[in-house]
Amino acid sequence: MFASPMLELHCHTTCSDGTLTPTQLVWRSHQAGIRALAITDHDTLQGWDEAFAAAANLPIEIVPGLELSTVYNERSMHILGFYPDRNRLQAPLKERLDGRKRRAQIMVDKLAELGYPLTLPERGEGMAPGRPHIASAMVRAGYVSSSEEAFDRFLGSTKPAYVGYEKFSAIEGIELLLSCGGVPVWAHPFLFRGGTVETVLPVLVEAGLMGIEVYHPSHSPSEVRRLEEYCEFFGLLRTGGSDYHGPSAAGKDNHGTLNSEKVPIDLLEPLKRAAEVIKKGH
């Protein structure tokens, strides 16, 4: 898509459902030619410090971020946040993280009722559990032969053990990020199942949305062009990233390989400036 592969604004680590630690992710990103790397774990900032430390002696800049799990029209919607003030976001985020833990427990309870009792491995306080962890536990227990099978039979959004996120609207998510100095960006809009992009986008913009994740492995070239046009029309920032979840997850379930979107580094400065503008306004 672009000539100089350098910016990667969507990645997960073991602090949520990625399979690489923040340190491993930073090293691999450096090898893949990435100049600036965002850590965007689901509902947690836990990976930041390790990533900053790992990047300290490498020519790679860490962009602190997260991917908020929200609900819009009763369907899952992901909102990326870049450069939020950690001190302000930490407390409200704990409620979201606790919600993820409650949700994981309800899914485990449902599986037990279905005849598949499980114990999830203990994870640290700031670590976000997700369906991939439950799927792995089912594989280890011998109930299914692969994580895909676990999703196909139990954990997919229409399957018997599925539980949606606790009520936290996309509008609330956008407002929370803005109030904490973070830049709110709609993640992978064409994966959203609760309405068309053209009807939903104006509502999010009205709420304060500042950007769109235009470049994502799930988007077709024509979808990318449409999103570029929307950015132009609404004056929104463009971001992009692979949604990398680690080597074993690459290519599956709309997750790319590191740097797969080949996003130009030029998109970083406008994002930084937007973060400064929000912080000045508060």
For residue 174, the minimal CB distance to ligand AMP (Å) is 19
Q: Which DSSP symbol is given to 158?
A: T
Candidate residues 9, 28, 34, 78; the one interacting with Fe ion per rule CB under 5 A = 78
Site string for ligand AMP, 131-170 (x = CB under 6 A): xx--------------xx--x----x--------------
Given 17, 43, 50, 243, the residue binding Fe ion (CB under 5 A): 243
Nearest-Å Rg of the Cα atoms of the chain is 18
Q: Identify what 78 binds: ligand AMP, Zn ion, Fe ion, none; CB under 5 to 8 Å per kind.
A: Fe ion
Yes or no: say if 191 and 163 are a contact pair by the CB < 8 Å rule. Answer: no
The answer to whether the Cα torsion of 73, 77, 80, 81 is positive or negative is positive
Nearest approach in angstroms of CB 153 to ligand AMP is 11
Name which of residues 11 to 30 contact Zn ion (CB under 5 A). Answer: 12, 17
Residues 6+ apart with CB under 8 A from 259: 5, 8, 29, 32, 33, 34, 242
Which position among 65, 81, 130, 189 is part of the footprint of ligand AMP (CB under 6 A)?
130
Amino acid letter for position 233:
F
| CB crowding 90-102: b at 16 or more within 10 Å, else e | eeebeebbebbbe
Phi, psi of 48 (to 5 degrees): -55, -55
253 is a site residue for ligand AMP (CB under 6 A):
yes
Minimum CB distance to Zn ion smaller for 12 or for 216 = 12
Q: Does 213 bind Zn ion (CB under 5 A)?
A: no
For residue 138, count CB atoms less than 10 angstroms from its CB and return exposed for 0-12, middle for 13-18, buried for 19 or more: buried
d(CA 208, CA 188): 18
Give 45 or 205: the residue with its C-beta nearer to Zn ion: 45
Which range, of 16-24, 46-54, 104-112, 186-194, touches Fe ion by CB under 5 A?
Answer: 186-194
Residues that bind ligand AMP (CB under 6 A): 17, 42, 69, 130-132, 147-148, 151, 156, 245, 253
Residues that bind Zn ion (CB under 5 A): 12, 17
Residues that bind Fe ion (CB under 5 A): 67, 78, 187, 243
